């Protein structure tokens, strides 16, 4: 049956009833435009290409996210975080929530795809018991998210085909009003954008016509870190770590400092079979950006030999070089940092520190640094090289850097000592704790 658009005020509108679904659209500037859109809609619903699952008109956003979780989360390294975001929509629709369980070993499906998790679904609980110790915190969370929860509940129950950019913009505005950080908003927005793209590409859903998560007004994210530990700070933390009952903790953190690896890389992806002591290489079979080889510094090799000796007979080619959990490492780091009274420093800052240290030690050789850190682009690498204005001013004025103030891991033995006339003591000698930033690669020349 042909659709007959009609004029409604100054705009053209039309109504469709297809497969039991009533569709109303308005706001078109001409009869021709309204007719073209009505024909396109009809074709997308009853055309030759049958959509997967029930299609966008019969599937709510919450139901679509549940399907997405089942199909996509097993192969996503950030599955746990995405599952937490998805579950907010599932609870709004009273759907079973996703539970992510890590596999002991990744299942390689192809060169591009590996499975890391099993995803199970738990029936929604009508009486979610909250421990008494968390009750006040959960009540505050619910109060803080009151505006965004209402909007999320509304759009979670809306058919995917009917969602428009203004629906999602309303959610973003509500999250801002509730005080969510820009990074948190950005991650939820990214999840929805990926869902709509996946539905169109894989499920062959033609509605919405355009991805409604694109072109939205988002708060600017400024989460760059520039915290670099000094030798003095690292010394205090190392001293505190030496008191840990688990000897492996200090070695694990030292390995991160000596390699600039992400904390997940040696914890999750490195076994002893991956260590090539002859080539001084650690082969990561599945890092964040894919397989890569990590060059091992003398300090890193020393740590690995200590780890091997510590594990003794339990050290087999298949065993992990760091049989620790992230929670264990994080708790030990927090205790050591507090005992050392070193503020505002995270485990991930060891990667920033190492990248900055190697920048100075290798005289700013960016191609070499990119191999060390494993970054794909120089723009990504630049976020981790945290030289500041004081460092540049020191170089411009030929001023020395004390070893205590140097980035953790950068020592006198790694630098050429060049006498500075303006910094000598009364007897003409360079003070013992002062070094000039001239890397080994630059030995033999003076500026």
pLDDT, position 143: 60
| Domain-embedded: residue 56 | no
pLDDT, position 421: 39
Q: Once rounded to an integer, what is the mean pLDDT over residues 160-183?
A: 94
What is the domain extent for residue 17? 6-46
Instruction: Say whether pLDDT at 437 is over 50.
Output: no
Q: Are 258 and 167 part of one and the same domain? A: no
Last residue of a domain, one of 179, 201, 223: 201
Q: Are 71 and 33 part of one and the same domain? A: no
Q: Which of the two residues, 257 and 50, has the higher pLDDT score?
A: 257
Q: How confident is the model at residue 111 (pLDDT cuts 50, 70, 90)?
A: low
Give the whole-angstrom CA distance, residue 47 versus residue 412: 73
Q: Which of the two residues, 399 and 127, has the higher pLDDT score?
A: 399
Report how many domains make up the chain.
3
Last residue of a domain, one of 368, 401, 418: 368
Instruction: Say whether pLDDT at 167 is over 60.
Output: yes
**Tens digit of each residue's pLDDT (9 = 90 or more) over 277-307:** 999 999 998 777 778 999 999 999 999 999 9
pLDDT, position 418: 40
Last residue of a domain, one of 330, 348, 368: 368
| Domain-embedded: residue 373 | no
pLDDT, position 427: 42
CATH number of the CATH domain containing 267: 1.10.443.10
- For tokens 């991930």, what's the residue? 348
| Domain-embedded: residue 384 | no
Q: Are 39 and 139 part of one and the same domain? A: no
| Domain-embedded: residue 404 | no
Q: Once rounded to an integer, what is the mean pLDDT over residues 213-231?
A: 89
| Domain-embedded: residue 332 | yes
């Amino acid at each position: 049956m042909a659709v007959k658009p009609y004029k409604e005020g100054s705009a053209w509108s039309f109504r469709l009833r297809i497969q039991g679904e009533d569709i109303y659209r308005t706001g078109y500037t001409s009869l021709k435009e309204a007719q073209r859109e009505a024909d396109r809609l009809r074709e997308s619903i009853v055309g030759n290409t049958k959509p997967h699952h029930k299609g966008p008109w019969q599937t709510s956003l919450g139901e679509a996210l549940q399907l997405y979780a089942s199909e996509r989360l097993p192969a996503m390294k950030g599955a746990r975080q995405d599952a937490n975001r998805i579950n907010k929509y599932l609870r709004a629709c009273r759907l079973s929530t996703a539970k992510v369980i890590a596999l002991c070993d990744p299942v390689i499906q192809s060169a591009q795809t590996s499975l890391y998790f099993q995803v199970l679904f738990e029936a929604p609980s009508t009486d979610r018991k909250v421990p008494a110790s968390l009750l006040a915190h959960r009540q505050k969370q619910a109060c803080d998210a009151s505006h965004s929860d209402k909007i999320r509940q509304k759009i979670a129950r809306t058919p995917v085909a009917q969602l428009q950019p203004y629906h999602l913009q309303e959610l973003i505005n509500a999250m801002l009003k509730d005080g969510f950080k820009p990074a948190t908003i950005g991650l939820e927005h990214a999840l929805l954008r990926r869902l709509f793209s996946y539905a169109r590409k894989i499920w062959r859903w033609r509605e919405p016509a355009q991805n409604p998560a694109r072109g939205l007004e988002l708060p600017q994210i400024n989460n760059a870190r520039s915290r670099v530990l000094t030798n003095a700070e690292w010394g205090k933390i190392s001293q505190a770590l030496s008191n840990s009952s688990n000897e492996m903790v200090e070695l694990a953190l030292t390995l991160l400092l000596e390699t600039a690896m992400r904390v997940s890389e040696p914890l999750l992806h490195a076994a002893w079979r991956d260590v090539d002591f002859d080539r001084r290489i650690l082969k990561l079979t599945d890092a964040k950006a894919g397989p890569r080889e990590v060059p091992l510094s003398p300090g890193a090799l020393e740590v690995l030999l200590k780890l091997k000796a510590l594990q003794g007979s339990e050290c087999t080619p298949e065993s992990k070089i760091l049989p620790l959990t992230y929670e264990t490492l994080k708790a030990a780091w927090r205790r050591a940092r507090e005992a050392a009274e070193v503020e505002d420093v995270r485990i991930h800052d060891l990667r920033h520190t190492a990248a900055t240290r190697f920048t100075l030690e290798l005289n700013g050789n960016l191609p070499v640094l990119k191999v060390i850190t494993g970054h794909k682009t120089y723009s990504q690498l630049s976020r981790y090289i945290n030289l500041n204005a004081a460092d540049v001013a020191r170089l411009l004025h030929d001023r020395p850097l004390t070893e205590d103030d140097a980035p953790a891991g950068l020592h006198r033995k790694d630098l050429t000592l060049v006498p500075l006339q303006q910094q000598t003591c009364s007897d003409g000698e360079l003070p013992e704790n002062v070094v000039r930033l001239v890397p080994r690669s630059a030995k033999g020349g003076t500026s």
